[in-house]
Amino acid sequence: MKIGIGNDHSALDLKAEIIEFLEHMGHQVIDYGTNSSESCDYPIYGEKVAHAVADKEVDCGILICGTGLGISLAANKVKGVRAAVCSEPFTAKMAKQHNNCNILAFGARVVGAELAKMMVDAWLNTEFQGGRHQHRVNLIMDIENRENSR
């Protein structure tokens, strides 16, 4: 898979570990930054990865900031994006199985590298179940469409 990754200054070390993990699994990773340890604004990188996912430049995305909150909130403003903040593998798995989330987010100040890898693995290697869950995801996307024309 082709996976976009983005982060703020709080997540440089964790991002490097996740990129190595993804490449080791045979995925291609596109890094949308930041690669500077200087304090920066997470919405910039959330939006970059969200656009890459929405425009199908990549198959899915991973976002990391201090908590995973700000960067996922920013990504969720982009049409077509469903970004889920997770801190353990069960929720990461369900984020794909039931919610078909196309971005996984987590916090570098919340989870360690091994837990983050377990979440990434669970999310990437789970299939969306469809059926009644497709209907519910459609209802979420209907809200987005209605809000855009409000």
Where do we find the tokens 């709080």? 10
Integer Cα distance of 15 and 31 in angstroms? 9
The tokens describing 130, both together, are 């469809």
Please enumerate in sequence order all residues whose Cβ is within 8 A of that of 142, keeping only pairs 6 or more positions apart, or say none: none
- Work out whether 76 is an interface residue with ligand RB5 (CB under 6 A): no
- Work out whether 123 is an interface residue with ligand RB5 (CB under 6 A): no
Residues 32-51 that bind ligand RB5 (CB under 6 A): 42
CB of 43 to ligand RB5, least distance (A): 9
CB of 72 to ligand RB5, least distance (A): 8
Would you call 101 a catalytic residue per the annotation?
Answer: no
Considering the candidates 27, 40, 98, 133, report the single residue annotated as catalytic: 98
Question: Given the complex with ligand RB5, which of 64 and 124 has the nearer CB atom?
Answer: 64
Q: Which of 29, 49, 65, 78 binds ligand RB5 (CB under 6 A)?
A: 65
- 43, burial (CB in 10 Å: exposed 0-12, middle 13-18, buried 19+): middle
CB of 87 to ligand RB5, least distance (A): 13
Would you call 98 a catalytic residue per the annotation?
Answer: yes
- Work out whether 110 is an interface residue with ligand RB5 (CB under 6 A): no
Q: What is the DSSP letter of 47?
A: H
Please enumerate in sequence order all residues whose Cβ is within 8 A of that of 120, keeping only pairs 6 or more positions apart, or say none: 18, 21, 22, 62, 92, 104
What does R_g of the chain's alpha carbons equal in angstroms?
Answer: 14
Considering the candidates 9, 51, 60, 65, report the single residue annotated as catalytic: 65
Integer Cα distance of 28 and 143 in angstroms? 33
- Work out whether 103 is an interface residue with ligand RB5 (CB under 6 A): no
Binding residues for ligand RB5 (CB under 6 A): 8, 10, 42, 65-67, 69-70
Active site residues per annotation: 65, 98
